[in-house]
Amino acid sequence: NAGVTQTPKFRVLKTGQSMTLLCAQDMNHEYMYWYRQDPGMGLRLIHYSVGEGTTAKGEVPDGYNVSRLKKQNFLLGLESAAPSQTSVYFCASSYGPDWGYGYTFGSGTRLTVV
Amino acid sequence: AQSVTQPDIHITVSEGASLELRCNYSYGATPYLFWYVQSPGQGLQLLLKYFSGDTLVQGIKGFEAEFKRSQSSFNLRKPSVHWSDAAEYFCAVRGNAGNMLTFGGGTRLMVKP
């Protein structure tokens, strides 16, 4: 089925460890996004990409890096995990500027940093 | 910058009762507005969207929303709630920069038998 796939679904990290979250979409979408979801705060944009090879900062980029080497993949990296990065991370994608269908979301990655 | 406020963090309704979830937005131009639903452990699914034209928009699962520019609101409604509607609902507005959506804090809906 077409859509957005996130891996892994769950992860527990120790403070200071690093990891990469992978987002893959097979809809040929230009735009991709990483959000974090925390209770009562809705979804906050971490980084986004408007096309292969491009990335930009969102609302809460500190402590994260991203890469979009291939159009279908958008990677989110944590270089040195902190407990404040415990959250549920969602990837989403959409068409270009003339889109009209909202975002397609992945099912999320639940990350706990201890 | 745009912003979205969902005043109700939790709402409980009885099955079969009507539902209205509130959403207020702040945006300088004509907004593009969305409602998403998130079932437990799942990603977000688009319920409906407003871009222009008729201010009453119909969505999936029997939901509708009404855009009221004078009140900066985009409230979500359903005439008769089903137990399967229990979920968290997010209102979002699209801003100027690219396709970026700004989300509200969400409203968690519980349905009593």
Over the stretch B19-39, which tens digit does the pLDDT of each residue have?
Answer: 999 999 998 777 889 999 999
| pLDDT (0 to 100) of residue B47 | 95
Query: Quick one: average pLDDT of A2-21?
Result: 95
Mean per-residue pLDDT, A42-68: 94
Q: Containing H/E element for A16?
A: none
Separation between Cα atoms, residue A9 and residue A110, nearest integer Å:
6
Contact B49, B34 (CB under 8 A): yes
Strand blocks (E) in chain A:
4-7, 10-13, 19-25, 31-38, 42-49, 56-57, 64-67, 73-78, 87-94, 104-105, 109-113
In whole angstroms, how far apart are CA B98 and each of A32, A33, A94, A98? 11, 11, 11, 10
Kindly list the residues from chain A whose CB atom is less than 8 angstroms away from the CB atom of residue B100.
33, 45, 48, 58
Report residue A99's pLDDT band, with 50, 70 and 90 as the boundaries: low
B98 and A58 within 8 Å at the Cβ level: the answer is no
Higher pLDDT pick, A102 / B88: B88
Given this model, what pLDDT does residue A100 score? 62
Of A43, A50, A107, the CB nearest to B98: A50
Residues in contact with B41: Cβ distance below 8 Å, sequence separation at least 6, in sequence order? A107, A108
Across the interface, whether the CB atoms of B41 and A48 are under 8 A apart is answered no
